[in-house]
Amino acid sequence: MKRYIFISLFFAVIYGCGTQAPPPSEHPDVPPTFRGTVGSYCELFPDNPVRVQAYSLVLGLSGTGSSECPPTIKSYLVKQLRSLRDRGYLPNIYRQLTAEQIIASSSTAVVEVIGTVPARAPKGERLNVEVTVLEGTQTTSLQGGWLMPTDLRQVVGRYTGRPLARQPTARAAGPIFINPLPLSLVTGQKADPRRGIVLGGGQSTADRTIRLSLLRPDFRIAQQIQNRLNSRFEEPEGPKVAEATREYVNLRIPPSYRNRYNHFVSLVWALFLQNSPGFLDNKLSELQILAGQPGQDYETISLAWEAIGRPALGNLELLYREEGLGEVSFYAARTALNLGDPQAINVLITMAQDENHPSQLPAIQVLSENSSNVRSRSTLRKLIHDKNHQIRLWAYQGLRKTGDPSIRSVALSRDFGLEVVDSSGEKIIYIWAALDPRIIIFGEDLRCRQNIFFESQDEAVLINADADDRLLTITRRLAGGNEYMSLRSSFVVEDMIQTMARPWKSILDERPRAGGLNFSEIVGILYELCEKKVIPARFELHRVGGGPNPLAREGGKGKGE
């Protein structure tokens, strides 16, 4: 059984059987071992992400906005601005202006906002949204801007902009991130400053419907699916997981799976309808034989094990304790851990520390996801010093969730963070361009070299220090372009980042003269300093999750994809 066959027919989106009426009650091409599962009787509907769109306003620009706005969009934005003012959501500098004056200001820009809500996403799912200057306006840059609170609705087609629903599907707000890196390493071409991303600034407003549509309407089978799902997944204090009609079964995500909703749907798909001990024993024997054959889809097999539940633990223990099984042992141990076997963590720890094991990285990922376990956390503290930077990153993610003292957080602004990781080996600056954007420094006391003269490509920031200077000077061009201001910092990169990010104040009267540099500005400076070897560290981009890629380059992807 090859993975692509099974995924296309069993777990992945099923785009239609194309069968003649009457349709079969089960998919005919499901492998024999997996017949009688929920997925063999149903199609998953809907299984496509939803595109959402809105027109909105970016605030806080330094004279790079414009007043142009089509009348229909202007009428809508005026209503939104008045509502935001009434609710106290507008920044102070705009509260004394009328809605029309705000739109006409060069510190604002009319934009189109586009996002994608994942299939099956529950309420509160965070997402990136793309923000683009409206065509025909004279806005030159969104750098430093902030998207005002915006309701996004599902639309018809890609360009019509006609909403399908009166209620918003998602809401978005937050600072604009503009890719500061060259799109092409050959030409040095930069990203369009009229287009940016709000990293993690979107949020779905309601649970998306998850529906199992029976291939052949049959209330008896639908009722059987409903009862089996409620028996297997219903939780105390939680709602019923499944409700059936003759044609379909509606699903609700149990509370414990809300952060793993795709995994829950996969388990539903893999669940056998029959639940008698004899039937399950036979299926476990079949699965064990299948797992022992080379080239099998172990991911699918492990889902079937986990869907069976705790009755599978005996078989799983035999597999994960047997030496020489490689990937099979990993999948058996991971599944056993998911089912509550406390001994399985020891096997995964051994794999995670064995650089020759074929499942070392997946095992480390499982430890990272289970970092609340004391033994798992102890292993991650060792792996944070590994020479493999991917291993260090997985260890960091796990330890960060537990507030481990090896990771020190530095308060910068409400828009992004700075974290310093106590990690030996190669110094690395990671840019986390995803939900909760942040700069991560691997290695304490990372310092700039002496004798610096650096000017950013846009000539807005100058960093310099002579060979015998004890501090470096950071000079910034203020809004308007004719006035400059300087601050001092130590050569420690952490201190330099903090200095650039905090509000810039006058030395004479301590009055704020300008806000701190934003995330994309600081990322661009760090990239250039690493490229020029001013900072002796490796520069890495890390992006996770869906939505538009804020760090995409010509001919390649950002690191960490």
Residue 272 belongs to some domain of the structure: no
The answer to whether residues 392 and 507 belong to one domain is no
**423 lies in a domain?**
yes
Q: What angle do CA 276, 278, 279 make, to 5 degrees?
A: 65
**Residue span of the structural domain in which 237 resides:** 1-258
Q: Of 215, 231, 258, which marks where a domain is finished?
A: 258
500 and 419 in a single domain? The answer is yes
For residue range 457-467, what is the model confidence (pLDDT) as tens digits?
778 899 999 98
417 and 352 in a common domain: no
- Same domain (yes/no): 293, 395: yes
The residues, ordered by sequence, that sit 6+ positions from 530 with a Cβ below 8 Å of its Cβ are 429, 537, 538, 539
Mean pLDDT over 194-205 rounds to 95
From CA 298, how far away is CA 290, in angstroms rounded? 9
Residues 361 and 421 placed together within one structural domain of the fold:
no
The Cβ-side half-sphere exposure at 387, using a 13 Å CA radius, reads 1
Instruction: Report angle CA 7, 35, 317 to the nearest 5 degrees.
Output: 80
Residue 271 in domain: no
Whole-number percent of the chain with pLDDT over 70 = 86
**CATH number of the domain residue 322 falls in:** 1.25.10.10
Q: Give the pLDDT confidence score for residue 190 in this predicted structure.
A: 77
For residues 445 and 335, membership in a common domain is answered with no
- Verify that 91 and 213 share a domain, yes or no: yes
Residue 266 domain flag: no
526 is a domain residue: yes
Per-residue pLDDT at 513 exceeds 80: no
Where among 258, 286, 309 does a domain terminate? 258
Judge whether 285 lies within some domain. Answer: yes
- Average of pLDDT values for 118-147? 94
Dump pLDDT digits (tens) for 39-70: 999 999 877 899 999 999 999 998 999 999 99
* End residue of a domain, out of 225, 258, 291: 258
Q: What is the pLDDT of residue 191?
A: 84
Report the distance separating Cα 428 and Cα 408, nearest Å: 15
- 162, pLDDT greater than 80: no
Ranges 229-238, 255-264, 274-283, 506-515: which has the least confidence: 506-515
Residue 307 and residue 425: Cα distance in Å, rounded?
Answer: 42
Residue 459 lies in a domain: yes
Is residue 142 in a domain? yes
Average pLDDT over all residues of the chain? 87
Kindly tell me if the per-residue pLDDT of 172 is higher than 80. Answer: yes
Over the Cα atoms of the chain, what is R_g? Answer: 27
Instruction: Give the model's confidence band at 181: pLDDT under 50 very low, under 70 low, under 90 confident, else very high.
Output: confident
Q: How many domains, in total, are found in the chain?
A: 3
Q: Please give the residue that has the higher pLDDT: either 290 or 508.
A: 290
Interatomic CA distance for residues 162 and 156, integer angstroms: 6
* Ordered strands of the 484-489 beta sheet: 452-455, 461-465, 472-477, 484-489
pLDDT tens per residue across span 431-453 = 999 889 999 999 999 999 989 99
Predicted local distance difference test score (pLDDT) of residue 117: 95
Residue 478 pLDDT: 76
One domain, residues 82 and 93: yes
Average pLDDT over residues 297-320: 96
Q: Could you tell me if 167 and 213 lie in one domain?
A: yes
How distant is the alpha carbon of residue 555 from its chain centre?
22
Q: Is residue 301 domain-shared with residue 252, that is, in the same domain?
A: no
User: In which region does residue 466 sit, left (phi positive, over 0), alpha (psi from -120 to 50) or beta (all else)?
Assistant: beta
The tens digit of pLDDT for each residue in 313-364 reads 999 999 999 988 899 999 999 999 999 999 999 999 999 999 999 999 999 9
Residues 236, 291 share a domain: no
Q: Quote the percentage of the chain above a pLDDT of 90.
A: 72
Tell me, yes or no, whether 226 and 251 share the same domain. Answer: yes
220-229, 399-408, 513-522: least confident range: 513-522
169 neighbors 205 (Cβ within 8 angstroms):
yes
Which spans in 235-354 are helix H?
A: 261-270, 277-291, 298-308, 313-321, 327-338, 344-352
Q: Per residue, what are the HEC states of 149-212?
A: EEEEEEEECCCCCEECCCCCCEEEEEECECCCCECCCCCCCECCCCEEEEEEEEEECCCCCEEE
Mean pLDDT within 135-150: 95
- Quick one: pLDDT at residue 560? 38
Kindly report whether the peptide bond that precedes residue 175 is cis, defined as omega within 30 degrees of 0. Answer: no
Using 50, 70 and 90 to split pLDDT, how confident is the model at 220?
A: very high
